[in-house]
Amino acid sequence: MPLGSLMIGLSGPELSAVDREQLCHPAVGGVILFTRNYHSPEQLTALNQTIHGLREPRLLIAVDHEGGRVQRFRDGFTLLPAARQIGLAWSQDPSAARRLAHQLGWMLAAELRAVGVDFSFAPILDLDYAQSHVIGDRAFHRNPDVVTELAAACMQGMDSAGMIAVGKHFPGHGSVSVDSHLELPIDRRRYADLLMDDMRPFERLIHYGIAALMPAHIVYPHIDAAPAGFSRRWIHDILRSELGFQGAIISDDLDMAGAAWAGGPIERAQQALGAGCDLALICNNFAAIDTVLEHFNPPLDPVSQSRRSRLHGRNRHASLRQLQTTRDWQSINRKLLKACESIDNTP
């Protein structure tokens, strides 16, 4: 059974009968995990093994695990620094900051791969305008060139541990104060301004070979009336055609208030996939998952299926405990801790 185009959330730390039925639906291609799905590294490993054993090719397993305040698994995992901490290190020593970003990427990916997670929605490519509360210290820096350097190093670290990177939130979320989880933000800048500033990290990371991107639930009215994640202008014309991106495009959560522009659950999935997304996320609204799986049959696109198949994780350690006994893990763990303690956290 090929991987479908929906990525859905689970209710708890073990699979229920309903979960199993939904994950075997042909429209489903993957699972996104949250803190509610986690008790311990051993439990998480067992859960992921069960999910991967349900189908062939195996379902994708993803998580938001960036570091700082967005880290779903904590007890038993390395506590990762927020991206802004690494950006602050740049002003002291750019070379050291690049190394720190690479080490962050390696640690993030190595630990998740050890428990069977395929990929994380990281790194953030948004700029730190000190305006967006939902982005805040999740962004590396205000300077797009610094963001590019640090995100590229993070991506390389993730790749060395067997994980692809997912850059977000295209074409840039940092300049709007409204939280798209709660309402629909509007960014009234013109395309030329976005291209010269917020879009530069995305354009450069595409050139460097980033495997996947996530568009924002934000309207840029000078470009299109639709939010970027529902817009063929943004996804097909700009991201695919103008910027030449050939990787996977994954929607932001369709449960968010910023997605209500498209209508109900079925209309949101239709609009996101119709605009060109390869995966559509339904994270927390379990009634919406039921509705979409019952009434919506996404078309099977072989090109989109191929993009999804390239998101699987590669090499992994036998267990998180085993990884944490290795010299690489112990060395990088010390370096991350030492570096974060030495960084002046004043914005």
Q: Among positive and negative, which fits the CA dihedral 212, 66, 164, 139?
A: positive
Tell me how far apart the alpha carbons of residues 88 and 108 are, in angstroms, rounded to a whole number: 19
Cβ-count burial of 192 within 10 angstroms (0-12 exposed, 13-18 middle, 19+ buried)? exposed
Active-site entry in 64, 118, 252, 278: 252
Active-site entry in 179, 181, 193, 328: 181
Q: Is 252 designated active site?
A: yes
Contact 1, 300 (CB under 8 A): no
Contact 233, 226 (CB under 8 A): yes
Contact 183, 150 (CB under 8 A): no
Q: Is 181 designated active site?
A: yes
Active site residues: 181, 252
